[in-house]
Every structure is written in C-alpha cells, then in structure tokens.
Structure 1
C-alpha cells in the first residue's frame, strides 16, 4: 500500500498535481518510510517514519519549489553558523515556531494542582552561584529591586524541604548576563527551600525584552510581520527528589505583551501581581533601599510526582 498525501485545498498560485504525479509522489513517500523498517530501536523507527510522512506531506501541501528548498537549507546553515556556547539559534527557531511550547505541553501534562510548565529558553547556564534564603540574585544588574517569595509543596500540600530553585532573568536593558562580552554573572543564581518549603530572594522587577533578532530567526520574524518581544518574566527551574522537575516562568500582570509573547510561553496561571512599593516603604528583610521604588510578588510552586 502506498502512502497517500492528506487531502488539501489547492494552493494559491499552485497547479493541482495530476493523478499520475500524485502516484509518483506517493510511491516516493512509501519508499522513504519503508527505508526505516529495519531500524532496531522501535522508538527511533516510529519517530523517523512519522517525520518522513509529515515532512513529505508539508512539501506536497505547499508544492515547495527548489528555490525555496535551497533557501531553507541556507537558513538552517546560518542558524548553525551563528550558534555558539552563548547563543542557540535553533532553540530560538523552535521557540518562535511554537515547537518548544508544544513539546513542553506534551511532556508536562496537567496533574492535579501542579504548577504549569513553560519554555526553557536559550539563556540557562549551569553552575549559577548559590545565594542564601533572602539573598540577592541581581549581582549588580541594573533594574528595580523585587522581593520574590513563596513555598514549594507537592500536590497534597506537603512542604518540600531542600528543593533546588534555579532562577534567571534579564536586566532592565533587556539583556541576560551571557549577552554581555565581559563574562559577568548577574541576574541568575540558585537557592534551596528551608524545612518549611519556603523560599525568598531579591531580584529585579521583570521588564519586556526582545529575543535576539539580529540573525536568521530575527529576519524570519520581520518577514512574517511578527515582533521579537517577550512578555516580562523571570525563569524558574525547580527540582526535588521523587518529584517532576518544573521549568516555568512568572509573568507580570498588566503587561501589554502577555497576549503576544513571541515564543507563546504565557499561561494564565503564571501571571502574577507584582505589587509596586513606593519609595521609603520598608523592605521585608529591612534591607536599606534608600529612596528607590521596589516591587514584591508571591509565587507558590506545586510539584507533580515524578513520572506523571
């Protein structure tokens, strides 16, 4: 049996293929899919055969031209050339196509009252410095101070002591530390919950920023009339024994970009009220803030069981 292309509406400006042409294309799909029949790993076989079917279906659906195919190869080559240990253009491409969020959705199915996951992003760095509870992750990065606090529990409400919390964010200029050329470490750290599952730290009030758009992904966004801007957020990665690792953000309520986040990362449950604090308001830990304004937010985190 040959692999049939899904029925589609005729494409604008494209001639509908004849039955003879359809048969030629069907036969090629069947041969490509069959070429993976003897793949020893059953999961790899399933993935490759499904990829072949969907890739060929896309080519046939849009009636891809050879010039377009060449442009696509050049685009992917440029994505590879611009990628280094500080920038991952393929993650950006996955993000703006919604593939990252779809993968997150598939792999983090809703479970009871567990906190929702969202995209990882391209700016996580291993071995961020540890700060104590109530410490400052900003590391001198410019921006308005923000007090973050909350608890980590399981879905039954039991506090999780010793949960590792990785946090990272951009500064008020819209840049992560790794985007600066001087090797600074700022706007990122890790800390651990106390015996009551509580955490607290100082960071920066999140502000909007553009994803890197000076490369091929940026040109793609421009060509398609899309903005590179991300809604204001701070990243969390939370790990604890026997519980599902959570990768998520919190977003700022009222941000105009919530409905148009360039990587589709916003979920309503992750939008939080960042309460502005006027100049002169005492800090919760008596930190001297002088005449600076600041904000505060609470984010209670619930982890699902491992394997769910």
Structure 2
C-alpha cells in the first residue's frame, strides 16, 4: 500500500492526480494535473479557511447565475483577472511588425452589413464624427486585397447597440469593409468614449473590494480576416484617455494607442489612421 493511497495534506496533489485513468486524453491529463497542482498549492499557501472556501463557492454560484444568452459573467471574471489577455497573448505570438491582438470583448455581433468604402457606421447621428483610415499590409509592406474588416464601437453614451435594443438602431456603429488592391480602408464612425464594464454582479463587487474601477478606455474594435493570413482581433485606443494604464480588462497595448486629430472637414470632427499588418497563416 502506497502512502498516497489515502488523502493527506502533504500528498494531496499526488492522491488526486493518480486517480485519473490510464487511457484518458494526454492533453486532458496535463491540463487537469497542472490545475490540481496549482490549485492545491494556492490553498496551502494562503491556508484557506472553511469560511473563505464557502464564500468562494457562493461567489462562483452567483457568477453562474448571472450568465444568460446576452451576458457571460465568467468571461467578465476572466477578463478582469487578466486571464483572457494572457490566453490571447500565448495563442497569438506573432512575428515582429505584425499587428498585436487584444481581447475580443462580449459585444461583437455576426452578420453586420457590408458597406462601401468610406461609408458611415453611425446610424443614430450622435457623437463626434471621426474618419478612420489606413491600409492593410503584409509583413513586407505590400497591400492586401480582399481583407475583410469588421468594426464596431460604443455610442456617445458608452453603450453598444445590443445593450440598448429599441433605443439604438440595429447595427448602430457596426459595419464590414473589404479592401481593394491598394489595401486601403476608410469609414466614418464616431470618436469612441470610455465606458464601464457591467459591474452590477459578482465581478463588479469583487472589483470594488479590490479597490479597482470597472472602466475601459475609449476604443474602436477591429476584426480582420483573410483566407491567407492569421485573423486579427484588436482595438485601437484613443491616445490620452484617462484609463489607458488601468483598463479593467488589461486590453491596452502600447502599439495600439493612436492619435485622434481634430479636423474641420464638413461634418467630420476627428481623423485617425492605423495600418494593420497581417501575418501569413
């Protein structure tokens, strides 16, 4: 009989992990084995009390109860603990010069209308109109034809259209554009504003307990796809925003901060330029 046949504090990890079957998926064995190792290590390091364990169970239960088809509180928890960004960073290590990824966010909607280059995505007429422009390039600086650019942002009040059904027009501040041979893109949106992530649930209470705020800096979302290149999920962030260094979901990267230049061209009040560089598959 082995000393790890029965559970003890000293050999807790071994006792749990050795119960896994012989013929299970190797990756599952690796992931769960490491999870048990680090989870038990955490419990031992902080000497978790029974009351704290029960509080954790209540927190996770409440987090699950907040989830529905429009809200995913567990993703919000992952975002605010930096896990979403860490997974994204590991999975999207790109060559030097390629545009960096950032967190996808919960407000993307499939099926946004494809619009002619230069069209406006602002349907409610609110906010400060802004011209977005740039090029989509490969690593050698050649333009990419046929790159599909899916864009979306909040409105001037800090809400996405799906957060305010019936108040905002459907597809407000959303659109899809496809590059021609020159790789150029251009559209009219609005200068985005900072907004708080939903903080009326368990994650919001956790942030408050940690002395953290729920705010995200102003940004425009971009999703770039092309059959021959890696998908890019990213934002461009407004330079000078108050929350750039304290983004609640850790999404800001220095290379994604861009200047918004004031202009006076008809109705357009701002202009910003960003060139995307796609890495080959």
Answer yes or no: same fold by TM over 0.5: yes
Number of corresponding residues: 276
CA offsets per residue over residues 262-302 of structure 1, 9 Å max, x none? 1111111100010012xxx225xxxxx2xxx6101001000
272 and 35 in structure 1: CA distance in 2 versus 1, 3 angstrom threshold: same
CA contact (8 A) 2:192 2:220 kept: yes
SS of the residue corresponding to residue 297 of structure 1 reads strand
CA offsets per residue over residues 35-63 of structure 1, 9 Å max, x none? 23525321111111111111111111111
Comparing 161-170 and 177-186, the one that deviates more? 177-186
| Aligned partner (choices 121, 125, 129) of residue 105 of structure 2 | 121
1: CA distance, partners of 2:62 / 2:249:
20
What's 1:16 paired with? Answer: none
What's 1:303 paired with? Answer: 278
Please list every run of 5 or more consecutive structure 2 residues that lacks an aligned counterpart in the other structure.
none
Shift of 1:238: 0.5
Q: Does 1:255 find its partner at 2:241?
A: yes
CA contact (8 A) 1:232 1:252 kept: yes
CA contact (8 A) 1:162 1:193 kept: yes
| Aligned partner (choices 209, 214, 227) of residue 223 of structure 1 | 209
| Aligned partner (choices 254, 262, 270) of residue 276 of structure 1 | 262
Q: Does 1:72 find its partner at 2:47?
A: no
1: CA distance, partners of 2:271 / 2:86:
31
| Aligned partner (choices 33, 50, 60) of residue 34 of structure 2 | 50
- In the TM superposition, 1:2-151 aligns within 5 A as 24-36=8-20, 38-140=22-124, 142-151=126-135
Shift of 1:254: 1.1
CA offsets per residue over residues 214-241 of structure 1, 9 Å max, x none? 1111111111110001011111111111
What's 2:198 paired with? Answer: 212
Please list every run of 5 or more consecutive structure 1 residues that lacks an aligned counterpart in the other structure.
4-22, 284-288
CA contact (8 A) 1:120 1:248 kept: yes
CA offsets per residue over residues 17-42 of structure 1, 9 Å max, x none? xxxxxx92232210212223525321
1: CA distance, partners of 2:23 / 2:126:
53
SS of the residue corresponding to residue 245 of structure 1 reads strand
Q: Does 1:294 find its partner at 2:269?
A: yes
2: CA distance, partners of 1:200 / 1:234:
13
The two structures have a TM-score, normalised by structure 2, of: 0.93
TM-align CA RMSD: 1.8
Q: Does 1:236 find its partner at 2:219?
A: no
CA contact (8 A) 1:2 1:30 kept: no
1: CA distance, partners of 2:222 / 2:47:
42
SS of the residue corresponding to residue 233 of structure 2 reads strand
SS of the residue corresponding to residue 61 of structure 1 reads helix
The two structures have a TM-score, normalised by structure 1, of: 0.85
CA contact (8 A) 2:82 2:249 kept: yes
